[in-house]
């Protein structure tokens, strides 16, 4: 099962910089880790949309927790924030459209 540590507020850990993509549950942002300065991707999903299919979101997060492979985006952590779930992942350069051309 997923475990969430509420003692670390998202706002103290990451600064959202700009939107890099949109999806059915929300948006993906480029973000800066406040402690290391590393750039990461943060998928911000609105709870109102997640509730409709929470099991799919939980399954995605649990799968990312278990995966460790050079060709898979690394999962870092997740937060609950202002009616949203924030999933923090490694940031990839470029976009899928460029990759398949």
Provide the H-helix boundaries in the chain: 10-13, 47-50, 54-66, 96-100
5 vs 81 pLDDT, higher one? 81
9-35 pLDDT, tens digit per residue, is 899 999 999 999 998 888 999 999 999
pLDDT value, residue 3: 57
Number of CB atoms found within 10 A of residue 15's CB: 13
CB-count exposure of residue 87 (10 Å: 0-12, 13-18, 19+): buried
What domains are defined for the chain? 10-100 (3.30.200.20)
- Residue 43 annotated as binding site: yes
Q: Which is more confidently placed, 18 or 100? A: 18
What is the pTM for the complete model shown? 0.80
Distance CA(59)–CA(56), nearest Å, equals 5
């Amino acid at each position: 099962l997923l475990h969430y540590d509420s003692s670390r507020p998202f706002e103290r850990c990451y600064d959202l910089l700009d939107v890099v993509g949109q999806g059915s549950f929300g948006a993906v942002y480029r973000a800066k880790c406040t402690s290391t300065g590393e750039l990461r991707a943060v998928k911000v999903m609105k709870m109102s949309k997640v509730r409709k299919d929470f099991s799919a979101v939980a399954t995605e997060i649990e799968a990312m927790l278990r995966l460790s492979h050079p060709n898979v985006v690394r999962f870092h952590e997740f937060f609950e924030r202002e009616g949203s779930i924030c999933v923090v992942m490694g940031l990839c350069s470029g976009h899928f459209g460029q990759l398949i051309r």
